[in-house]
A and B are shown apart, each in its own frame.
Chain A
């Protein structure tokens, strides 16, 4: 392994030293294509982010793909209702790995201002794992850009082997998540315990899984 300072020094001399991992992640992070998928008000700010003033293209993410098969990133931009939630999970399942999720806005995180609604899902992370949350109602375009950079940092930091490697390099990792059913009164189940391990105070701790679906220690 070349030490970092030496690498920078060599770079100044015009010599490029890199690792497969760096090169690979550099490629992945520089062309994250989001899915063209807007849910509510936040989607308008998402569109504004791609327009001339904020210009998301600077981050290699201007190509919004209408098809989930061609997208790497799902920006859940807006309120997920219970009528829509199964479709969101289905779309997520249809995306090819590697795939990432940004929950944009208060609604996608927790239901936001509409939390008390009977038809509002109280946070998309009840059904699918989320990589970056952006608070705000709606988050400003700058906040979305910040989330994007956070995601790029995360991609940059993923090792290709060993612990913490991305899901698509891990044969055991779960890539598809169960789609909830629309029942007579509510979604069934109301949350996917695999990704939404709710701690209930006073009740013994339960099995927890981390974002990639692996089991983590259960005592707290």
Chain B
């Protein structure tokens, strides 16, 4: 397996960008997805570019109102960050139920976003926080809203010559609630069957902003914008929440696989959206 490709270990970001600009390559971050695909020979790259030496890509920074996670920040780093419960409660929820300890120590935020899996657990929370990612190539830098990043199943807007260097979001507004529910076939180390992240911001009993990001119920993680629209600007009655949950369900297009049927995913995405919205409202009002 190891002899079949060239392994590059750039010491500088520029060097890494130059390598991926020239030849097709797979970027290796924590390797918790990539190694599995290499071992199964689903991928047979000629070049693998390891980000291991690029320590500047790892870390959690707070700059005024903005929180930035370097792409190589690990799941364990998120769990070790004392302020994460304030910065991104939903992200903490996701990190707490992410894989097992070994994978949490290796797996990174950048890898989770870049693998473009509909079941990537950090993505619904980040989307519910209106996160934005930074894509860098040897030609320059651009920022993309996470909710615009994914195109279709395992397809995204990233060019082969680009790398994700960070993801960032604005601190939660006052009077906000943010949470994530991971539904899986068991608690520890399981792939998500239905993932729901919700952010509500209230002004009195009126909802000013609603974010609903859904995982594993469509080809990509996505925002249930129809549901969000129903809530924004309104007083959140039980009926309204029920209607929003139905909308979230209507916008979902899950598949059936060995983990669960499409019907079950639809059933639970409705129930969980309803539950998370109700809990958020009850906490704030």
A binds B: no
